[in-house]
Amino acid sequence: MPELPEVETIRRELEPLVRDKTIRGVRIERSDIIGFPAPDMFARAILGQRIAELGRRGKYLLVRLCAGTVVRQLLVVHLRLSGQLAVHAARTRPLRFERVRFLLSGGECLVFIEPRVLGRVYLVEEDHLPDVLGGLRHMGLEPIQPEFDAAYLRRKVGHRSARIKALLLDQRIAAGVGNIYSDEALFRAGINPNRPGDALRPREIERLAAALRDVLLEGIKHLGTSMRDSRYRRPNHLPGGFQKLLQVFGREGEPCRICGSEIVACTIANRTSRYCPRCQRR
């Protein structure tokens, strides 16, 4: 699933291609991709809206729309496991796995591609998120925000008996963090993913908060992570580059680059977690 660095990369590279373009039409190939409102209402309400800017919250892409000069609506895009966004000439034939096509002024179109049909797009009022977007409404801080410090992380995990890897995947705690960057941050902090949150010492929480921030910023710097089995691609169809720097994610069975021990895998919160049993003994 695209995590914070991937969605931020998409936001940065897509915005200059679509900013100030007006949505002249929409073609919905799969109605179940429209999460809110009903597809016919969605298609009518978005016509004539101008794309003012692109924002992001956690793993959600937020396209701010305006009629005139006032931003009133958000086009919220949740890419989920395999969603992609790309800009093409409006006359381009339907693409494989194309789900929604937004026809833009200037003879171009913004296409939402989703092979697994898990991603969703929503059209909502900026100041009112429906219940279907409760995950966005109740999201916690992002580790790249200044307010996400050791004190914040201690308040969120210091009293919890759940394993720290599962806690980091909770978007109410660490918004934008998923399987890749939680594994990498825990490795950098020298913390075993099976440790309970309430077993972490203050110094370990400090290291983890810093590691989360650092690994996400590096992921952004290197334009996200594209694994061989990942469908994440940037709007220009090129891959990211952070996979070259991964220490544990996707490397089970391979030697640790620090100590030479074999990277192992386990299942936590129904996700495969990777770690070094020596560098992350505790």
- pTM summary value: 0.95
pLDDT at 81: 87
Token pair of 242 as six digits: 């952070």
Is position 271 annotated as part of the catalytic site? yes
* Per-10-residue mean pLDDT, the chain, length 282: 95 98 97 97 96 97 88 92 94 95 97 95 93 95 98 98 98 98 98 98 98 98 88 90 97 98 97 98 87
Is position 115 annotated as part of the catalytic site? no
Annotated active-site residue in 2, 5, 193, 235? 2
pLDDT at 230: 67
pLDDT at 227: 86
| Residue 118 φ then ψ, to 5° | -105, -25
Is position 195 annotated as part of the catalytic site? no
CATH architecture of 4-137: Alpha-Beta Barrel (3.20)
**Overall residue count recorded for the chain in this entry:** 282
CA 257 and chain centroid, separation? 27
CA 40 and chain centroid, separation? 28
Q: In one letter, which amino acid is 175?
A: A
Whole-angstrom CA distances from 115 to 37, 205, 253 are 22, 38, 29
| CA 92 – CA 101 distance, rounded (Å) | 11
For the structural domain made of 150-275, what CATH number should be given?
1.10.8.50
pLDDT at 282: 83
Q: What is the largest CA-CA distance in the chain?
A: 60
Annotated active-site residue in 59, 64, 99, 213? 59
Domain with CATH 1.10.8.50 in the chain: 150-275
Domain with CATH 3.20.190.10 in the chain: 4-137
Q: In one letter, which amino acid is 15?
A: E
Token pair of 103 as six digits: 């026809």
Is position 2 annotated as part of the catalytic site? yes
Q: Is-contact 100 81, C-beta < 8 A?
A: no
pLDDT at 219: 98
